[in-house]
Amino acid sequence: MTLAILADIGGTNTRVALAEGTSVRLDSIRRFPNADYQARGQDIAQVLRDYLDQTGARVSGVCVAAAGPVQDGVAEMTNLSWVIDGAKLTEATGATRVAILNDLQAQGQALGHIAPGNLRRVIDGPQTQGAMLVVGLGTGVNAAPVHPAPKGRPMGRIVPPSECGHVNMPVRTEEDFQLIRFIEQKLKAEGEVPHAGVEEVLAGRGLANLHGFAAYAAGHPSSLTSAEVLAALDAGDAIAAHAARLYVHILGQMLADLALIHLPYGGIFLIGGMSRAMTPHFARFGLETSFREARRVDLLQRDFSVTVVEDDYAALTGCAAYLEAMG
């Protein structure tokens, strides 16, 4: 029996599991807090060593999905000071098959291997053969196209790396302009780069930022976490509803822009904690209306579907599928 070790490194935790072929052993999944390892000057290599020590597993393959850019086989974490390369992974695990993917690349590799019960359609539309688009809304924001591999290519799908969570926030209304200025001033006051990228409004912290703006606009400045905003939204709070409406409006605009850039006739797939948390509110606040807003071409009015992936372990599945395609 040939086993592989897989790791999905998020902004907060790293999930590690074993796989046989494309099948992830769900009972093998364990979580490791990134902050604990970083505080000790350790990184993913020690996480993998600890996992193998705890389980006693022997593996021939290792694949890591990292929340950060991957270039020339080296990953640099966006929200951690971790640099990951193949030699480090081989030394930690003894594996001979090694792969490092961007987290969105791993999610893209998982498409087609996810159980139908873990897929929820939120915008209907034709879904045909062709490119797909995976959009991550979690601790950070990112998106990547997923292209079928050319015939004869042994490595499965082509999912180019991306860091588009840091593109400019879409601006369509006067309120959008006011929001950008609010975000820029907030970041500057916190000593951060004052850039209103989509991550500042659509990531985990984004809903909190939007609530701060909505509260300021209402003349009642307040500071809530995103979890508190979601709870207030469920309780019928008007300011939380304003924040949610802004979130859905901006998300719809971003998805429309990405759809026109990549033409994902195979569907758009949303992943991550924020996509799942906001799913119950998409219809109420008009995600489809924002997405299908009339533009010079009518593609957005007649094409593309949007589906939420409700599988927490899709990135691990994508890692397993990628390793299996390597042979």
Residue 36, pLDDT score: 95
Place of tokens 């193949």: 86
Structural domains counted in the chain? 2
Q: Based on the domain organization, do 300 and 155 belong to the same domain? A: yes
Give the domain range for residue 75.
4-109+313-326
Residue 73 has pLDDT above 90, yes or no: no
Q: Based on the domain organization, do 279 and 163 belong to the same domain? A: yes
Q: Based on the domain organization, do 136 and 264 belong to the same domain? A: yes
Q: How confident is the model at residue 146 (pLDDT cuts 50, 70, 90)?
A: very high
Mean pLDDT, residues 110-131 taken together: 91
Beta bridge partners of 16: 7, 30
The 10 Å Cβ neighbour count of residue 205 is 16
Least confident of 177-181, 235-239, 294-298: 294-298
Residue 11, pLDDT score: 76
Residue 97 has pLDDT above 80, yes or no: yes
45-70 pLDDT per residue, tens: 999 999 999 999 999 999 999 987 88
Q: Based on the domain organization, do 167 and 202 belong to the same domain? A: yes
Mean pLDDT, residues 166-177 taken together: 94
Q: Within a 13 Å sphere around the CA of 307, how many CA atoms are in the beta-carbon half?
A: 26
Residue 226, pLDDT score: 95
Instruction: Give me 193's structure tokens.
Output: 């780069």
Q: Based on the domain organization, do 172 and 100 belong to the same domain? A: no
Residue 187: CATH number of its domain: 3.40.367.20
Residue 1 has pLDDT above 70, yes or no: no
Q: Based on the domain organization, do 10 and 147 belong to the same domain? A: no
What's the pTM value of the predicted model, to 2 decimals? Answer: 0.88
Q: Based on the domain organization, do 303 and 317 belong to the same domain? A: no
User: Is 250 or 162 the better-scoring residue by pLDDT?
Assistant: 250
200-228 pLDDT per residue, tens: 999 999 999 999 999 999 999 989 999 99
271-326 pLDDT per residue, tens: 999 999 999 999 999 999 999 998 988 888 888 999 999 998 999 999 999 999 88
Residue 161, pLDDT score: 77
Mean pLDDT of the chain: 92
Q: Based on the domain organization, do 297 and 198 belong to the same domain? A: yes
Would you say 218 and 236 are in contact if contact means Cβ atoms under 8 Å apart? no
Q: Based on the domain organization, do 170 and 259 belong to the same domain? A: yes
Q: Based on the domain organization, do 148 and 185 belong to the same domain? A: yes
* Ramachandran region, residue 131 (left: φ > 0; alpha: ψ -120 to 50; beta: rest): beta
Q: Based on the domain organization, do 99 and 204 belong to the same domain? A: no
Q: What is the pairing mode between strands 268-271 and 132-137?
A: parallel
Helix, strand, coil percentages (3-state) for the chain, rounded to 5, are 45, 20, 35
Q: Based on the domain organization, do 281 and 318 belong to the same domain? A: no
